Structures are given as C-alpha cells and as structure tokens.
Chains A and B, each alone.
Chain A
Amino acid sequence: MIESKEVFEAFQEHRGNAIVSVQGTSGKHWADVTTNQNRDISLGGAMGQSTAAIFGLALGLPNEKVVHFDTEGALLMNLGVLASIAGKKPANFVHFLLDNGCYATTGGQPVPNSEDIDYSVIAAGSGYAATYNFDDLEELSTSLDEIMNQDGPVFVAIKVPAEVENLPIGMRERRVSRNRGQTISDLRSELGIS
C-alpha cells in the first residue's frame, strides 16, 4: 500500500499545469501538497457523481489536462461512468482511484467485495486507453511521467491504507477549504471563462 499523501507528493512532481480534482478522506492530503489552488476544482455534491462532473469538465476543456482522484466507494455508486468516459475517449483525462477498501468516512465498513475486486480490469474492459495498478510507491513514481504524457482516458488504481473517521461529524477536525462555488469561480478566472 502507499500512503495517500505520498501518492499526492509523487504526483505533484508531474502535475505540470493540470486541473486537479480530489475526493474522499484520502483526498484531504492534496491541500497540503498542491502548489496551484486556482487549478484545483471540487465538483462533488451528489453521491458518486463527481467523476461524471469532472468527465464533463474534461470534455469541455479538451486542451487542458484534467486529473481526477476518485475513491472506490464513490466509483461503485456509479460504475457505469467508466463506460461513459471510455465511450467519449477524452485524451486529456487521467483517472486515479485511491482504493482503501472501505467507507472510511462512515467508520470503515468494507465496500462490496473489497478484497477481490480489480478496478483496473473493469476500466480496461470498459475501454480506457490505458490502465495501471500500483501498491508500491517506487513503481508509481517511475510510471507517473508515462501516465501523464499519454493519450487518455488513463485509469490508475492505487491501494492506500484507510484513514477511518469514527467521530461524529460535528466533532471532527474542520479543515479550511474553499467550497465548490469558490473553486469553480477561481478556475474560471484562471482560464478566462466568463
């Protein structure tokens, strides 16, 4: 397994000018790593649908590299989105999956068939241009240049440890972050979209 923060630190070296979206409990570490918040976007807001929203963003911005860090719990809620993405073949889309095998935000209950499911096989079968599986940081690090510089859609499944949150939501540490509307506004300003 690879710590989520290590995944983001390795990715940051290869980010370039990419627009980046993160999801889930693992995604919180991106805020400590990113160096270009104006190109970080948050389009969550409905169960399992942020991937579809980032897919739409990639379709609308074909000249921008768009990177989405998904989670397996969210993807399982709308697995058909893999076929939707593969069908439109967005060459600028890189789809990471941080797989911790459980719903960490609700106490760590396992997702269905968490031990045996292979998401990269599902993505490959759906028609993604390239797929990867990693549970070793060095292997991931040496592959990121290739991942970020090939035509997509590319799917990258990474095993990460669960960071389970058991406290009631009201008692959890609150991180200062921009809301969805602010990230949209900042990205549009960055790209000159009115």
Chain B
Amino acid sequence: MVEQQLQILRPETLVAEFKSIGVTHIITIPDSETNYLYELMEKEDWLDVVPVSREGESMAVALGLNVAGKVPVVLIQNTGMMESGDSIRGMALDAGFPLLMVVGYRGWTRKGHTPDSAAVYTEPFLNAFHLNYYLVETDDDGARITDAYNEAVKTKRPVVVLIGDEYHGFNR
C-alpha cells in the first residue's frame, strides 16, 4: 500500500536550488500550482523571469540565452510540455545544449492511477522523446534538481524535473 505523503515541497526550495546551480533566467508560463513560486522568483535580483505566450517558445528562448552564455531554466506544466514537442525536438534535443526543464506534474496522485489524462500521458511522452526525468515531491527531494541539472550539463541534453506536489500546498 502506498503511504500518505506527509511532507510538502516549498517553493523556496526550488529558488534555493536555482541559485545554487547558477540559473540566470527562468522562462515560464505560470500555472495555478506555481503562482507563489512565480512571486518569489520575481523578487530575486539575480534571476530574470521571462514570461512567454506558449510553452513551445520556452525551449527556443532558452537556446538563445544559452548561446549568449546564460543559464536558462524552463518552468512549465506537463500540458504545455506536450504541446511543445516540436520545440523540444528542434530547439533542445537537436541543438545539444544543457537544459533543465521543471515541469508541473498536473494530475499526479501517487496512487498508481489518475483520472487526469495530463498525468496519464506525461511519462510516456518523456519516454517517447528519450528525456530522462526526476520526480520531486517534497523538500527532501530538492537535491534532485541539482542532480538533474548536472546530468543536463554532462549530457548536453534537456533533463526534466517533474514537480509532483499538486495537492500538497506548493501554491501555499
């Protein structure tokens, strides 16, 4: 039987990981699960938040920033990630640069099944694109963000962190 998740993931944990990594830009479309994170990031003077209009833009903007010598991170939801297939292919995978993609795992329940098709297709989508991914559910998992980034740097590929905390206070 799956145990109940007791801890939460605080947005401050993500911001601390981003700072530790040396992230310069967050390219994002806010969603209902990350609103407080968005507010936190806007307050940081070492971080430039770049809002985009559709998730497919985010990988392209990240490529341009990488060419300029910056350290971009994409922050989107799984629904938008699936919309972005051609950009992930052409702007991230084919371009061959390290890209950390932090993806809200809408519909994730930890119970082995979900009524939300966004969650049903998330991991099959990642597997179809041969994208490695890490699950982050609580503060204790925070170091996986750095692990994922280090893997992206080593492989010069996008690596995904799935934020599986939709129902546990991530939005405060």
Chain A interface (Cβ < 8 Å from any Cβ of B): 41, 43, 45-61, 78, 80-81, 83-84, 87-88, 180-181, 184, 187-188, 193-194
Contacts and interface: CB of A to CB of B under 8 A. Distances in A.
Interface string B96-112: 10000000000000000
Given A45-B91, A46-B91, A180-B95, A56 B72 contact: yes
Interface of B: 25, 27, 48, 50-54, 56-70, 72, 86-87, 89-91, 94-96
Contacts of A52: 52, 56-58, 60-61, 64
A187 B60 contact: no
B53 A56 contact: no
- Residue of B62, B64, B70, B86 most packed against chain A (CB within 10 A): B64
Contacts of A46: 56, 59-60, 86-87, 89-91
A152 to B, nearest CB: 15
Contacts of A49: 56-57, 59-60, 86-87, 90-91
Contact of B57 (A43, A57, A58, A84): A84
A53 B61 contact: yes
| Cβ-closest 10 pairs across A and B | A56-B64, A60-B68, A80-B53, A46-B90, A52-B60, A57-B64, A56-B61, A45-B90, A49-B60, A53-B60
Contacts of A81: 52-53, 57
A194 to B, nearest CB: 7
B122 to A, nearest CB: 21
Contacts of B27: 56
Nearest to A54: B64
A45 B64 contact: no
A188 B61 contact: no
Given A45-B94, A59-B50, A193 B69 contact: yes
Contacts of B67: 41, 43, 56-57, 60, 184, 187-188, 193
Nearest to A49: B60
Contact of A84 (B48, B52, B62): B52
Contacts of A51: 60
Contacts of B64: 43, 52-60
18 contacts: A43-B60, A45-B91, A47-B86, A52-B64, A53-B91, A55-B60, A56-B50, A56-B61, A56-B65, A56-B66, A57-B68, A59-B50, A59-B61, A60-B65, A60-B69, A60-B70, A84-B50, A193-B69
